[in-house]
Amino acid sequence: MYNKDNVFAKILRGEIPNKTVYSDDNVLAFYDVAPRAKVHVLVIPRGEYTDVFDFTQNAPVEVQTAFWQGVRNTVEKLGVRNNFRLVANTGHGAGQSVMHFHVHIMSDERFVEEF
Ligand code: DGP
């Protein structure tokens, strides 16, 4: 069950500041407050979904498509197209601390290779 008091909901409402990397009608991407890589950015949908399965089961397909396009736009803006990890911690056992679906983009080098 989604709780509107979670910290990412507050960020989306503008109640907590963030360092935005990318933003559009469907997603917000911002730097993680406690980075664990040289580049550590979170991407969240603007809709209310608790985790990856809530999102993939309940978000309209066009919302899901727009989310992944937002992830791609963020990766390209960061310049890490060929060197990043994408992580979705799911459940408290895996360390999911914010129950608003999010993916972590983590990269230790900025390296873009044309191919
Ligand atoms: P997870 O453990 O997967 O739920 O990741 C949640 C991440 O959110 C964690 O790496 C720290 C980050 N975080 C928590 N509160 C804030 C905040 O207020 N601002 C920002 N930018 N990041 C936050």
Q: What average pLDDT does the structure give for the chain? A: 94
Q: Is the pLDDT of residue 72 over 60?
A: yes
Residue 97: its pLDDT value, please? Answer: 96
Q: Is the pLDDT of residue 27 over 90?
A: yes
Both tokens of residue 114? 């044309």
Task: Report the nearest-CA residue for atom 2 of ligand 1.
Answer: 96
CB 105 within 8 A of CB 71: yes
Between CA 101 and CA 25 the distance in angstroms is 16
CB 41 within 8 A of CB 32: yes
Q: Could you identify the atom of ligand 1 that is nearest to the CA of residue 95?
A: 2
Q: Is the pLDDT of residue 109 over 80?
A: no
Q: In this structure, what DSSP letter does residue 95 have?
A: T
What pTM did the predictor assign?
0.95
Task: Report the nearest-CA residue for atom 16 of ligand 1.
Answer: 33
CA-based R_g, the chain, Å: 14
Residues carrying an active site annotation: 102
Q: Is the pLDDT of residue 98 over 80?
A: yes
Domains present along the chain, CATH in parentheses? 7-107 (3.30.428.10)
Residue 92: its pLDDT value, please? Answer: 87
Q: Which residues line ligand 1 (CB under 6 A)?
A: 7, 16, 18, 30-34, 42, 89, 95-98
